[in-house]
Every structure is written in C-alpha cells, then in structure tokens.
A = this chain, B = another copy of it.
Amino acid sequence: MFHPKSIAVVGASPRPLAPSNVHFFYPLLMYGYPGKLYPVHPSADKVHGLKAYRSILEIPEPVDYVVSAIPARQVPQLIRDCVTAKVKAVTVFTSGFSEIGTDEGARLEREIVGIARQGGVRLVGPNCLGLHCPKAGLSLDGGIPKSSGGVGFLAQSGGNARELVVSAAERAIFISKGVSFGNAADLNESDFLEYLTADVDTKIIAVYIEGAKEPTRFARALGEAARSKPVVVLKGGVTKAGVGVVASHTGALAGSRQVWETLCRQTGAIQVHHFDELIDTLAAFVYLKAPRGRRVGVIGVGGGASVLAADECENAGLEVPALPEQIRRQLLEYTPPVGVGLRNPLDLDTDGFMNPELAARTVRIMAQWEGIDLLILSILPGILLAHAHFKVLGKHVEAVAKVAAEMQKPLLVVLRTGGVAKSEEAAQAMQADCQKAGFAVFRSVDAAARAVVRLTAYHGRWG
C-alpha cells in the first residue's frame, strides 16, 4: 500500500489552488513520484500536462492507489468503480462524512466502508491526506528532501501530518512511512500502529491522535509498539475545548486526559504535550546516544543565562552537579580567573567562546568529566556573528564535531536567538552544519533538557 506503482487523483482541477493540486498533484510532481500518475476529470483532456480520464474505469492500465478529491456524495460511486478496477487502496481526502455530525454524513461514511470492504478495497480516511513514503516517491510536501529515515508516523490530522513532515525535515529527521488517517472509517489507528511496529524501516513511531476507534485494540497495539521501539504520543483534545473540536474534526471520541496519561504510562509510550515537544523528542531519539544517567554539564555564555539554564535543567528532571576542582584547574590553564564563571553551567566570556579551538578544548575537558552523563552546549549565534565573520560559525561546528566524534556522552547543541532576525539567519546556517555533523540541535536549553530526559527515561525503562 505504501509503494503504489500508479496513482489516480479523482477530482483533478486546472484551478491552481484547488485542494487536489495543493495536497496531491504538486507534492507528487515536485517530489518526483516515479510511478504513473492519472488525473481524473469530467471534461479536461489534460491536467498538469498529463492525459486526463473521465473515470477510473477508463484508465487502460492497473491503478494501485486512488485519491478521492470529489464531493462526498460522489464518493460511493467512485469506490464502486475502484472495486471494479481492482484498486488496492483509496485515500478519501474528501470531507463531509461522519465528522460533520449529520445523519447524511454518517450514512455516507458507512456506505463507502461497506462497498470497500465487500469489494476488497482498503480505505484511508475519509477527511485526511493519506500516505507518505519517501522511498516510494509519495510525499505530503513537495519541498522537503527526498531522504528516508527511521521515523514512522500516524497522524489523525492532515495538517499536523504535513507540519510534522516539514518540521522534522528541517531538523534533518526523516520519515520511513507515515499516514494521515482522518476519520479512520476503515483502516484505523490500530492498523497503522501495528503496521509500523512490524515495519523494519521504522525505528521510532510518532503518533498524533485525537481518539481511538477501537480503544481496547489500540491499547494493546500501543503496548506492543512501545515494547519494540520508542513511541512518542501527542494526544489532541485533552481539555473540554479540545475534546469539543475533536468531535467535529475527525468525529473521534476523545477520551479523558487521565485515560491517555494512564495508557501512556502503563504501556511505556512517551507522552508529549506540544507539537514542538514532539519534534524535539524525535530529535533526541534520532540523534543521541543513550545517556547513562541524568547528570548534565552545560557550557554557555552569560551568567544570567547560566542561572536560567540550571533552573531549566533541574525543572526538566536533570541533575546539574557542581564542577569539581580538577576540571576547574584544567579550564584555568587558558581562561581568565574572573569575568567567566568556572562552574556548572560553565559561563565562558565572549573572548574564549569566539575561538573555535578554545571552544573545542572546553568541550573536550567537560566531556572527560566523570561526574556527568551528557553535555549541553548553548550557543548564541547572534553574539558570534556580531563579533566575527560568518565563516567562524562553520569553524566552530567543525572544531566541536572533531571532539564530539571521540566523546562517549551525548552532546546537545542549543542555538538561542531570542527571535532576532539576524541571529536566526546565523542559527539556520549553524543548525544545518550541526545536523550534518550529527548533532541534535534545539532552540532552548529548556527544550533540550526536556527532550533528553525523555530519552533517558526510555532507556531507564527499556534498557
């Protein structure tokens, strides 16, 4: 199903901003989908330069995968045609089914599921974006790199699925297979979770879920998944307001916050509470070796920043041990005794921090300190940029990368910009360099600490 050799998009449109283009044609064309692509349109001869067909049944070759972007009332006939044409899977992008809360919507949803099941066609959705599989040239976004990775995802929402794919790509976190499954009328969260659990390409599973169609089966599937690989869960609809939105979004029964918290705790799934946390947690699992414990060493610039970093680390659940005299002595060989803070977090002066060799030397000394299990290097790209050339940024990363390669402890790089435009530009460049060098990059000490604590807890539980 994730490797269709041919795709028909039913409801193709010459209108540039038509959803069928925005969500399907453009991504497939931009991403260079290598299979056959058939637009289905009631009258046009060509769409996007491709020969268009009046119906699925007119396409002379086998069609593996169909996308439905036509009005809900026309979908039952389309599914019948798909049965006739021996289509394997249909993503029903179309909305207007059970999620709109009308009898008619619910009836239509039952009808298409009935036709599909009887005819041996599997449905994804309705009310979703469907499949993402870079290896097969299937993407929810045309602009991201074509790289495959180890993160599999299931996301009830199409928008969140796309945001996940795009934000993860920016962090150089890539996807094995993923799916936006909307109302989950036929194939549901449990089907996809079981699939990703068994999938050898998938090393980590990310879940955005609003409600389980089959709660008992899902609980079992989540337990099995969490026993075999890390599963990170973001539950949408944990407040009264959120639950209300879920009902009209995917028609799911949201369940209470307590039920989900208990479920995650009991199964060993990793619960996160914000979308950004989901991405940060994936970054920790994709990039970092497992730390042996929770003791962190922090290297940064600024006394006040050190105070806040210490607070953030401890609040996240890390320990911040005091710097031993022996490490302090090693640092004193090249740093001045005043104007810097030779403690943990280490507060280097701008001068010491500007020199890539000294920065790398500092990382090496801190990394050799037996009293810590992991290291956070907090950088202000704006400060570096204000006092040096852009090139120095790259040299910094290069020098630190050499040290990091020999380190037995995970190193987390934090790029802090305070939202400042020119710092952001420098941070983007450094982030790309860091990721190439294999560093996990975060945008605050807080985010880094919270993500790595989840990694540590996971390895504490599962070994």
Q: How far is the CA of A95 from the CA of B139 in the complex (A)?
A: 56
Select one of B160, B245, B387 contacting A22, CB under 8 A.
Answer: B387
Do A242 and B428 touch across chains, with their CB atoms under 8 A apart? no
Q: In angstroms, how far is the closest chain B Cβ from the Cβ of A383?
A: 9
Q: How far is the CA of A338 from the CA of B351 in the complex (A)?
A: 59
Q: In angstroms, how far is the closest chain B Cβ from the Cβ of A448?
A: 13
Select one of B158, B245, B387 contacting A310, CB under 8 A.
Answer: B245
| Among listed A47-55, A162-170, A192-200, interface-contacting one | A162-170
Chain B CB within 8 A of A148 CB = no
Q: Which of A95, A349, A382 has the most CB of B within 10 A?
A: A95
Do B17 and A236 touch across chains, with their CB atoms under 8 A apart? no
Scoring A residues 294 to 309 as 1 if CB is less than 8 Å from chain B, else 0, what string do you get? 0000000111111110
Q: How far is the CA of A246 from the CA of B306 in the complex (A)?
A: 9
Select one of B143, B161, B249, B382 contacting A386, CB under 8 A.
Answer: B143
| Among listed A79-87, A215-223, A398-406, A414-422, interface-contacting one | A414-422
Do B210 and A95 touch across chains, with their CB atoms under 8 A apart? no
With A242-B310, A249-B341 in contact, do A160 and B315 touch (Cβ < 8 Å)? no
Do A167 and B418 touch across chains, with their CB atoms under 8 A apart? yes
345-369 of chain A: CB within 8 A of chain B? 345, 347, 349-351, 354
- Residues in B neighbouring A96, C-beta threshold 8 A: 337-339
Question: What are 12 A-B interface contacts by the 8 Å CB criterion?
Answer: A22-B350, A100-B338, A208-B304, A210-B304, A237-B311, A238-B315, A239-B315, A241-B310, A241-B314, A241-B320, A245-B306, A245-B341
305-328 of chain A: CB within 8 A of chain B? 305-308, 310-315, 319-320, 322
Q: How far is the CA of A250 from the CA of B304 in the complex (A)?
A: 9
Select one of B158, B322, B338, B443 contacting A244, CB under 8 A.
Answer: B322
- Residues in B neighbouring A386, C-beta threshold 8 A: 143
Do A160 and B305 touch across chains, with their CB atoms under 8 A apart? yes
Do B19 and A307 touch across chains, with their CB atoms under 8 A apart? no
Chain B CB within 8 A of A157 CB = yes
- Residues in B neighbouring A170, C-beta threshold 8 A: 418-421
With A22-B387, A304-B159, A307-B210 in contact, do A167 and B245 touch (Cβ < 8 Å)? no
Closest to A240 in B: B314
Do B446 and A274 touch across chains, with their CB atoms under 8 A apart? yes
Do A159 and B419 touch across chains, with their CB atoms under 8 A apart? no
139-163 of chain A: CB within 8 A of chain B? 143, 155-161, 163
Chain B CB within 8 A of A275 CB = yes
Do B311 and A241 touch across chains, with their CB atoms under 8 A apart? yes
- Residues in B neighbouring A305, C-beta threshold 8 A: 157, 159-160, 163
Do A382 and B166 touch across chains, with their CB atoms under 8 A apart? yes
Do B351 and A310 touch across chains, with their CB atoms under 8 A apart? no
Do B17 and A238 touch across chains, with their CB atoms under 8 A apart? no
Select one of B157, B337, B349 contacting A302, CB under 8 A.
Answer: B157
Chain B CB within 8 A of A191 CB = no
Chain B CB within 8 A of A248 CB = yes
Q: Which 9 A-B pairs have the closest CB atoms?
A: A157-B304, A159-B302, A160-B304, A241-B320, A239-B314, A167-B418, A96-B338, A242-B311, A236-B307
